[in-house]
A and B are shown apart, each in its own frame.
Chain A
Amino acid sequence: MATLEFESAYRKPGNTLFQLIVGGEDPFDFWVGRFYVGFFGAVAAVAIFLGVGILFVAVGQYGDWDLLRADIPPPTRAYGLGLAPFLQGGAWQMVVVFATVAFIAWGMREVDICRKLEMGFHVPAMFSLAVSAWLVLQILRPLLMGCWCEGFDLSFTGHLTWVSNTGFRYMNFYLNPFHAYAVLGFFLTAMVLAMHGSAILGTYKTDPNPAVEMRREDTFWRDYVGYSIGEYGIHRLGFYLAVYTLVMSDLCILTSGTLVKDWVDFWHPF
């Protein structure tokens, strides 16, 4: 089942970013199975293919195919912001470049799909914010610190160990205020998510008239906590909580090592 029964009405050619920017017709303005391709889809596909290919070549060269042990490390400190030989971090640099291209092209492709469906651009906006976390961690902060070695390993155990080391390196990451605000945001999104999921799963098809179910949701929340944010408002709340969490996460890692070397000492003047 590649297509849904109502899908054909929406599969229209044209109205792409490529047309808007370059002028001519988008040479990739078609679908492959369920997937829309488009110019940016083609770019993303090439970048994903090359990035994953280099990743596999590097893992083969390091010679350890164990899923837990395989690791693509960033360059050593000695290479600073320069290029490194393939096995000394060059593989990491190439994968990061292709991944970054793929992420940005993927976001542009989402914009194309939004334009085709004539809907708002909230999803690509949110996606770019998520990509900003990658850019901050792997490109912006290493640039500010003057060394690509500040990026995290591309692997299962490697990125876990990077997180652990980075936390302890700045003494006590829990005392990083942006980290605390981000954790608060993560916990709040989970709580509000449970509340929203419970409201819909709890009320759907409990009455022949959906309008009654929706009013019942409002009445319940007013009884329970004194306020109901509404069926539209709850999605705004969730959206902005996710935005807040991502911005705080970006700030928390961007300030560590660049502005603040020790989050315990940071509080000393207070």
Chain B
Amino acid sequence: MATIITVNEPIEEPEPDALDYADPLGIRLGQAFRIPWLRELKIDTQVGTIWLGFWGVMSALLFAAGLGVLTLAAFDQANGQPWIIVKYFANLQIAPPEGLGPAPSLRGGGYWQIVMLLWAGSTILWAVRCYERLRRHRWRPFLLFAWLSAVLLTASIWVIHPLLVGSWADAPALGLNGDLDWAQNFSVLWGNFYYNPWHQLAIFFLFGSTMLWGMHGATILATSAEGSHHEDAEIVGLTSGSQKAILFWRWTMGFNAFPKSIHDWLWWFAVGTVLASAIGIVTTGTVTNDWYVWGVDHGTVLQYGPITREAINQHPRPMPDMPASGNAYEPAPGIQ
């Protein structure tokens, strides 16, 4: 693994045209090298180089600045003691302020607003870098639209929804448990997110994405001995590897994609996930304040009937565990 080999092959790229302007920071950083051990993982051995470029550098600077402010905020919360940060790393939260105005103080949401502004700028500049590199290498802009749809989802969560309901406090706090708690609280605050139909559609696409990766990845690995992984070439003319991949699904389920169309499926399932999620967030607090009530109104909530002890024992549907007495939940041992 320790062996590292320098790569000296020239980089192949299309002839520049009038729109490929001279970038003052347009250099490829460092020297490409190979780590032969990566061949054990059956992945490409070459690492580097990376293109700097004006937009990429600006994006990285804004991201680093946001990380810096975040670290400052963490030190502020921990009274300047690094050990406290390490000990309570998961629970440290940089929270957003109430209302839509600027935060009253740094600790009262100002840190959050500064970090969010810097990172919003960073993601937008990264999109510009994406477009600039895609154009230079003559790709169609699919990757740009995939990135922008992901940006739309983050914008829905951190900007559009808070604006619509009138408070930055509806956005997630920064921090490990801040994220997880937001997911739980946001779901309960707006009724029950499982009954948000866009959330349901997003989960369909999300699970579908994993399923499609399982299917496509497995199909290509199983037929790559005959070259099915050279996908750009397979789109122009099928070899026996792709023929087998096609026939496998045709014989199994009566339907199959082709080397080009399978990637349409992949792209739309991945992008569909974030688009459906974004719609689900934006409609929350606008279309309805309570997705459970929305589900009851639209017949998507399973109706249990009257909840009595007798009904729980006799009803053919399972009920969640309930305390034997009607009194408060008894905490598990160990909770003070």
Instruction: Tell me if chain B binds chain A.
Output: yes
Q: A117-B247, A216-B138 are in contact. Are A193 and B212 (CB under 8 A)?
A: yes
B273 touches A190 (CB 8 A): yes
Q: Please measure, in the bound complex, the distance between the C-alpha atom of A169 and the C-alpha atom of B318, giving whole angstroms.
A: 12
CB contact between B47 and one of A109, A194, A198, A226 (< 8 Å): that residue: A226
Q: A73-B317, A230-B43 are in contact. Are A236 and B221 (CB under 8 A)?
A: yes
Question: 1/0 per position for B160-185, CB-CB distance to A under 8 A?
Answer: 00000000000000000000110110
Tell me the residues in window 45-68 of chain B with beta carbons closer than 8 Å to chain A beta carbons: 46-51
Q: Pick out which of these stretches binds chain A: B73-81, B99-107, B114-122, B227-235.
A: B227-235
A201 touches B140 (CB 8 A): yes
Please name all residues of chain A whose beta carbon is closer than 8 Å to the beta carbon of B41 when the two chains form the complex.
233, 236
B270 touches A197 (CB 8 A): yes
A189 touches B300 (CB 8 A): no
B210 CB, nearest partner CB in chain A, Å: 4
B209 within 8 A of A: yes
A112 CB, nearest partner CB in chain B, Å: 9
B37 within 8 A of A: no
A14 CB, nearest partner CB in chain B, Å: 15
> How big is the B interface, by class?
35 or more
Tell me the residues in window 248-270 of chain A with beta carbons closer than 8 Å to chain B beta carbons: 261-262, 265, 268-269
Please name all residues of chain A whose beta carbon is closer than 8 Å to the beta carbon of B255 when the two chains form the complex.
34
A153 touches B317 (CB 8 A): yes
Chief secondary structure at chain A's binding surface: helix
Ranked 9 nearest A-B pairs via Cβ: A197-B267, A239-B217, A120-B222, A233-B43, A230-B44, A226-B50, A194-B270, A202-B139, A223-B51
Interface residues of B (CB under 8 A from A): 11-14, 28, 32, 41-44, 46-51, 129-130, 133-134, 136-143, 146, 150, 180-181, 183-184, 192, 194-195, 200, 205-207, 209-225, 229-233, 235-236, 238, 243-248, 250-255, 260, 263-264, 266-267, 269-271, 273-274, 299-303, 313-321, 331-332, 334-335
Interface residues of A (CB under 8 A from B): 4, 6-7, 10, 31, 33-36, 66, 68-69, 71, 73-78, 87-89, 109-110, 113-114, 116-123, 125-126, 129-130, 149-150, 153, 155-158, 160-169, 172, 174-175, 180, 185-187, 189-207, 210-220, 222-233, 235-243, 245-246, 261-262, 265, 268-269
- Supply 24 A–B pairs (Cβ within 8 Å), ascending by A: A4-B243, A10-B247, A34-B254, A73-B316, A76-B316, A113-B251, A120-B225, A122-B218, A126-B214, A129-B214, A153-B317, A160-B301, A174-B184, A186-B206, A193-B212, A200-B232, A210-B232, A213-B232, A226-B50, A227-B48, A235-B224, A238-B216, A242-B211, A246-B210
